[in-house]
Structures are given as structure tokens and as C-alpha cells.
Amino acid sequence: MNAWPLRNLVLTTPRLELRPDDDEGLYELVDVAKEGVHAPDEMPFNVPWTDQLSDDGGRSMVQFFWATRAKVAAGSWAVAFLVRHEGKVVGVQELSARDFAVLREVNTGSWLGQKFHGQGFGTEMRVAVLQFAFDHLGARIARSAAWVGNRASNRVSEKLGYLPDGTTAAAPRGERLEHVRLRLDAADFVRPGWETEVGGLAECVQLLTS
């Protein structure tokens, strides 16, 4: 049995490669974040972690990913896929689940370095994990969420077939914002004209589907 079953997992799309986070890749991701993830007057995250980067140099960011990786277990997991374009880290795409064997549901969340916005990478990396979840893990439902004003994320969700599933409120910077919950059933997934290639699944499929 492999000590770390996710070690060789890789998702490949026409332009991107997604692999579970590794330390060298995380250091690259910190550098991407330091160059900017969003406009200063916006906060697309529930936890305003980008506001802390200048204070600790990205240490808390790396510790967050380490903690997430350490808690991966059958029945409760979150995989942070580092997204690479032409060999360079450009962002991160998370796929997570609880009680997957019973619920057959996954959640997604992601971000890209600001300089990589507007190139279709956000759609391509979301499609990668959705095809992985639906076609290779047997998921039936995928859930996501975004602020009402997060037009880019909401456009990606809309064109992939997600439907609104209620709202919640949060105040990441002390002001109330509406968070739109989104749901995508496997049958409603609007697929592109390409398929994600998946490698290394045999080593980790039991961990992710149990």
C-alpha cells in the first residue's frame, strides 16, 4: 500500500495539469498570491486570507494547505490541486467531500493569480475536477458558492449548468455580503468538447470513494 495514495494523481486538460499540492508547488503558489489574486477593493473569500500575506509572508497560507493535507481520510477529504500552465503554478482548485460513499456529493472552490484571469483557465480547471468527480469517482452532485458580485465565478458556474440553491450571508471585511450557493447535478453538467485525462487513480480511488 502506498503511504500517500494521492502522490501520483494527475488531471490533464488541453492546457492545464492539476496535481495534489506538494511543498515546492505551494511555495510557487505563495508567490502567485503575493502578485495579486483580486482587486484590492474586492474580497472573494469567506476568510480574507489575502489581507494577511503582507504580514507573514505567506506562512499561514502554507500552514493552511499543510493542515488540509494532514486531515485527508476516507470519508472526509479535501484535495487542493495545484494548477499548472506550461509547468508554472497559476492557481489552485479544491475538491472536497464528506461521507462521499453515502452522499455522492462534492464541493469545489478555487482561485487564480490575477494576471491569469480572463484566459478561460477558471473554467478549464473546474471542468477538470467535475469530470474527475462525476466520471471517475461516481459523484452525483457538485456544489459551489460565490458572492453575488463575483461575476467571473458566477459566469463559470452558469455556463457549466449550475443552478442557484439558496443564499447565505457573511462579512469577511466587516460588511454584509450575499453568498450564492450553487448546485450541479451530473445529468445537467454542460460538458466541453474534450475529456480530462486522469492518471494515478488506482492508488487513491478507495481513499476518495470509501
Cα gap 82→93, rounded to integer Å? 7
User: Residue 53: which pLDDT band, with cuts at 50, 70 and 90?
Assistant: confident
Task: Count up the domains in the chain and report the number.
Answer: 1
User: Residue 179: which pLDDT band, with cuts at 50, 70 and 90?
Assistant: confident
More confident residue, 12 or 153: 12
Cα gap 47→187, rounded to integer Å? 32
Residue 122 sits in a domain whose CATH number is: 3.40.630.30
Cα gap 117→39, rounded to integer Å? 11
Which grid cell sits at 42? 474586492
User: What is the reported pLDDT for 169?
Assistant: 72
pLDDT digits (tens, 9 = 90+) for 72-123: 999 999 999 999 999 999 999 999 999 999 999 999 999 899 899 999 999 9
Length of the chain: 210
pLDDT digits (tens, 9 = 90+) for 147-177: 666 777 778 899 999 998 887 776 666 677 6
41: pLDDT strictly greater than 80 = no
User: Residue 55: which pLDDT band, with cuts at 50, 70 and 90?
Assistant: confident
Beta strand 141-147 with 105-112 is parallel
Domain of residue 169 covers: 5-209
User: What is the reported pLDDT for 81?
Assistant: 98
